[in-house]
Amino acid sequence: MTAYEVLLSESQERMMVVLRPDAVAAARAIFDRYELATAEIGRIVDDPAITCTAGGEVVCRVPGRALADDAPRYAISGSPRSSEAADLAPLAAEPASASVLLELLAAPNIRDRKPVWRRYDHMNGTNTLVGPGAGDAALLRVKGTSAALALALDGPGPARLGALDPYLAGASAVLEGALNVACTGATPIGVTDCLNFGSPETDLGAWQLERAIDGIADACRALDVPVVSGNVSLYNETPDGPILPTPVVGTVGLLEDRRRAVRMAWAADEDIWLLGAAADDAELLAGSELAWRRGLRGGRPALDIVAASRVAWIVPRLARHGLVRGAHDCSTGGLGVALARMAIASGVGAQVTVPTARPSAALFGERAGRAIVTTDPERRNELVAALDAAGVAAERLGTAGGKTLTILVNSDQLAVDLPGLREAWRTAL
């Protein structure tokens, strides 16, 4: 290869590492252990220019700022398309029936992913503590320490929300990822993003991309976590038009003491709480799995980013003090599906009460920043005091126990036994 080709070629199999001189030998030993091909290619010097040589000859010399702060930028600008109207009020007021819960559990976007993850080795050496299907995020121990890393990959309701509001899609992807790692007991410390969109050269495409980035940025500011890397996949179009705007966010969290890890399950007699506002407005259904399955693909979703970030912030702190025993975020399928997933994971039912004038919205509406947590009833007052001090809205839903998930909605009762929940969720892909 020529020097030009080496400098400009792209590959997914290479990575550049910057090491302190005293760490080179230790790093090289690790590379050799795993049979990784490595080469020292340069040094950091006190010079504003980057100089590249080949065969002893200078083949490139360019100011460092030209590749960073002063790099050419695309000047894109676009205009929004008004959201499609949809009357979600009738659906919101429908009774929350067991048949709808089972339908959602069996939906392709919600059902068990075991047929996929069982086909690859999800064990990272001997470090995987929580693997696929067993938690909201993977949990990997850090050898030689008491710590663990939590890892999650999330997109909001796959692209449904992006079709209605790309800003909220970006923000929701960040908040859902943060809450997923928080539900293991870990504190979110950084994210990476992948922006999957159509052409940014159209007015609509440019606006969608820009707004999704704004949403990611605002959510990261609220959480105080950095975006450490990312990539884009643009121009995803067919003759029928572009794909739906789909921001995807990977999140890493740090659990300093893995003995404090939180399970995605509850035990008999534990209190069940909903963290985050217990809303039942019809717009909870905008972009939801239930609404789209009913052909209602419009609406105006809403999200309080600051309030949602507080939930992701408080869960690890509650776990650190032993106030949270189990946790699971409310995402696709809403509160009803989240309760069912907890029952399936633990093999224990629950008795829950949800007073509302809009049953379907309350149980199957979707909005980032809500989670189910469980606690020892004897520590209920401590939990309430901690939540009040953090400004986090919360509501006690009921108690875990038995072999049936029973949800009382006003005078109506939704009840499904554990085998029925498992059968629906494990519907083959």
Instruction: Give me the residue label for tokens 């029952």.
Output: 343
Residue 267 forms part of a structural domain = yes
pLDDT of 371 reads 97
Q: Are residues 214 and 294 in the same domain?
A: yes
Residue 402 has pLDDT above 90, yes or no: yes
Do 127 and 269 share a domain, yes or no? yes
Number of domains in the chain: 2
CATH number at residue 270: 3.30.1330.10
73 within some domain: no
Helix pair 305-320, 380-390: axis angle to 10 deg? 140
Give the structural domain span for 36.
Answer: 3-67
Write the pLDDT tens digit of every residue in 17-71.
999 999 999 999 999 988 999 999 999 999 999 999 999 999 999 999 998 888 8
58 and 131 fall within a common domain: no
Q: Would the pLDDT of 131 be above 80?
A: yes
Distance of CA 109 to the CA centre of its chain: 14
Residue 313's pLDDT band, with cuts at 50, 70 and 90, is very high
Measured between alpha carbons, how far is 102 from 337 in angstroms, rounded to an integer? 9
> Are 53 and 181 in the same domain?
no
* 6 or 11, which is more confident: 6
pLDDT surpassing 90 at residue 278: no
Mean pLDDT for all residues in the chain: 92
Query: What per-residue confidence (pLDDT) applies to 158?
Result: 58
Residues 129 and 247 in one domain: yes
- Shared-domain flag, residues 50 and 156: no
Residue at a domain's end among 13, 36, 67: 67
Span 66-80, pLDDT tens digits: 988 888 887 777 777
Tell me: do 125 and 241 sit in the same domain.
yes
Lowest mean per-residue pLDDT among 123-132, 235-244, 372-381: 123-132
Evaluate whether residue 82 is within a structural domain. Answer: no
Same domain, 170 and 35: no
Could you tell me whether strands 246-255 and 187-196 are parallel, antiparallel, or unpaired per DSSP bridges? antiparallel
Q: What is the model's pLDDT at position 248?
A: 95
Per-residue pLDDT, averaged over 331-342, amounts to 96
Q: For 167-176, what is each residue's pLDDT tens digit?
A: 999 999 999 9
Task: Assess whether 46 and 187 both reside in one domain.
Answer: no
178, part of any domain: yes
Is 38 found in the same domain as 102?
A: no
| pLDDT of 384 over the 90 cut | yes
The whole-number pLDDT of residue 187 equals 97
Q: Flag whether 76 is in a domain.
A: no
**Domain for residue 84, yes or no?**
no
> How far is it, in rounded angstroms, from Cα 55 to Cα 296?
64
The pTM of this model reads 0.87
Residue 345 falls within a domain, yes or no?
A: yes
pLDDT at 251: 97
One domain for residues 191 and 326: yes
Same domain, 60 and 106: no
Q: What string of H, E and C letters represents the secondary structure of the chain?
A: CCHHHHHHCCCCCCCCCCCCHHHHHHHHHHHHHCCCCCCCCCCCCCCCEEEEEECCEEEEEEEHHHHCCCCCCCCCCCCCCCCCCCCCHHHHHCCCCHHHHHHHHCCCCCCCCHHHHCCCCCCCCCCEEECCCCCCCEEEECCCCCCEEEEEEECCHHHHHHHHCHHHHHHHHHHHHHHHHHCCCCEEEEEEEEEECCCCCCHHHHHHHHHHHHHHHHHHHHHCCCEEEEEEECCCEECCEECCCEEEEEEEEEECCHHHCCECCCCCCCEEEEECCCCCCHHHHCCCHHHHHCCCCCCCCCCCHHHHHHHHHHHHHHHHCCCCCEEEECCCCHHHHHHHHHHHHHCCCEEEECCCCCHHHHHHCCCCCCEEEEECHHHHHHHHHHHHHHCCCEEEEEEECCCEEEEEECCEEEEEEHHHHHHHHCCCC
Q: 146-173 pLDDT, tens per residue? A: 999 999 998 866 578 998 999 999 999 9
Mean pLDDT value across residues 281-289:
93
Of 10-24, 116-130, 244-258, minimum mean pLDDT range = 116-130
Task: Provide the pLDDT for residue 224.
Answer: 97
- Look at residue 313 and tell me if it is in a domain: yes
